[in-house]
Structure 1
Amino acid sequence: MYSVLVADDHAIVRSGISYLVDLQPNFKVVGGTASGTDTYMRVEQGGVDILIMDLSMPPGENGLITTKRIHDKFPHVRIIILSMHEEQEYINKAMANGAMSYILKSSPDSEILTALQHVANKEKYLDKNIIVSKADIKKINESGNSLNLEGYSTLSKREKEVFPLIALGYSNKEISQKMFISTKTVEAHKANISRKLHLHGRVELVQYAIHHHLIDF
């Protein structure tokens, strides 16, 4: 039995995908999340074999970043991206960052089910409506991409989780409640982020996050 986590910022989408997955033999939905940070934290708790995730779950961390963080830390988790983004750039980066499958939200339910079977067999799968050229395959296979950021890569796991919340304007108290940490710990993370990225104040931090596509609004 494969345990599946469904991540999408729309409750009705999570519900629909969960219902579809639970109808399939050998697959069981074990939870649903609505943001990149919550998704990472749920994967961190364990018991997830397959993750079906939207790339855009605003406001919060960019889904491409979440994909890379999860794949780097939990490579055993097989990631299926279910997205409205049909642009080849998104597809290339998602696959380069560790996704095993990319499905378009405009496609029929059968594509999700096909993707589930492929990733269960440890096989990559692209939506049949996606046309991939040799140049695209080359980009997917290239190790380097725009998300391997100097500075950002030096942040700790928790600092990367706190970063988008700061950029989106959450207060120290709100962050502490969301992350189940003390406000002093939040302040320490903020100081470390500013030091490592050589940023001075929230304005520069927001500019950095936007420039490097680290957050979605």
Structure 2
Amino acid sequence: MYNVLIADDHAVVRYGLSSLIGEQPNFKVVDQAANGTDTYLRVERGDIDILVMDLSMPPGESGLITTQRIHDQFPNVRILILSMHEEQEYINQAIHNGAMSYVLKSSSDDELLHALTALSNGDTYIDKNIKISKTDLEQINSGDVNVSLKSYNALSKRERDVLPLVTLGYSNKEIAAELFISTKTVEAHKASIMHKLKLHSRADLIRYAVHHHLIDI
């Protein structure tokens, strides 16, 4: 039995996916999340085999960033992106960041079920309506690091948890409660984030996060 986490910012979508996936043998929907931060925290708690996730779950962390963070820290979690984004740049980046499957929300339920079956067998699956060219494969397999994100990549795992919450205006107390850490630890993380990114205010941090597509607003 494969434990599935569903992440989407729309409750009706989460309900529909839970019903569809729950009817399939060998798959059990064990939890849901509505944003990137909660998705990462739920995966961090363990027992998730397959993550079915949207790329756009505003306001909060970009699904592309969440995909990369989960893949880097929990490589055994198989990530299936279910998105309205049909642009090739999103598809290529999602796969490059660690997604094993990419399915369009505009496709039939069968595409999602085919993807789940493939993932349960340890195989990748790309929606049949998506065409991957040789150039796309080169971009997907590229090991180049985005120079503009070198500073972001220097942030610790927990600092990356804190960053989107700061940009959304959460108080230190609220961030502490969300991440199960102390307010003093939150303050330390915020100071470290600003130092590493060479920023001076929350407004600067918001501009940085939006410019580098770290969050969806």
Taking structure 1 as the reference length, the TM-score comes to 0.97
Q: Residue 149 of structure 2 aligns to which amino acid in structure 1? A: L
**Deviation by residue 1:131-177 (Cα, 9 ceiling, x = unmatched):** 11111111111122548821111111111011011112222222222
Partner of residue 209, structure 2 = 209
Partner of residue 122, structure 1 = 122
**Deviation by residue 1:78-121 (Cα, 9 ceiling, x = unmatched):** 00000010000000000000000000001111111000011111
Partner of residue 132, structure 2 = 132
Identity of aligned residues (%): 65
Q: Residue 203 of structure 2 aligns to which amino acid in structure 1? A: V
**CA distance, structure 2, for counterparts of residue 3 and residue 172 of structure 1:** 33
**CA distance, structure 1, for counterparts of residue 211 and residue 33 of structure 2:** 26
The reply to whether residue 176 of structure 1 matches residue 176 of structure 2 is yes
**CA distance, structure 2, for counterparts of residue 148 and residue 130 of structure 1:** 29
Structure 1's consecutive aligned runs of 4 or more residues displaced over 3 angstroms after TM superposition are 145-148
Classify the secondary structure of the residue corresponding to 2:44. Answer: helix
**CA distance, structure 2, for counterparts of residue 215 and residue 202 of structure 1:** 14
Contact 1:65–1:147 under 8 Å retained in 2: no
The reply to whether residue 53 of structure 1 matches residue 63 of structure 2 is no
**CA distance, structure 2, for counterparts of residue 76 and residue 59 of structure 1:** 27
Classify the secondary structure of the residue corresponding to 1:151. Answer: helix
**CA distance, structure 2, for counterparts of residue 147 and residue 84 of structure 1:** 28
Contact 1:93–1:145 under 8 Å retained in 2: no
Contact 1:49–1:77 under 8 Å retained in 2: yes
Q: Residue 57 of structure 1 aligns to which amino acid in structure 2? A: M
Between 1:169-178 and 1:25-34, the stretch displaced more is 169-178
> Pairwise CA RMSD of aligned residues?
1.3
Counterparts of 1:33-44 in structure 2, within 5 Å, are: 33-44=33-44
Counterparts of 1:95-114 in structure 2, within 5 Å, are: 95-114=95-114
Gaps of 5+ in 1: none
Question: Number of aligned pairs?
Answer: 217
Q: Residue 2 of structure 2 aligns to which amino acid in structure 1? A: Y
Q: Residue 49 of structure 1 aligns to which amino acid in structure 2? A: D
**CA distance, structure 1, for counterparts of residue 55 and residue 147 of structure 2:** 14
**CA distance, structure 2, for counterparts of residue 136 and residue 180 of structure 1:** 40
Classify the secondary structure of the residue corresponding to 1:150. Answer: helix
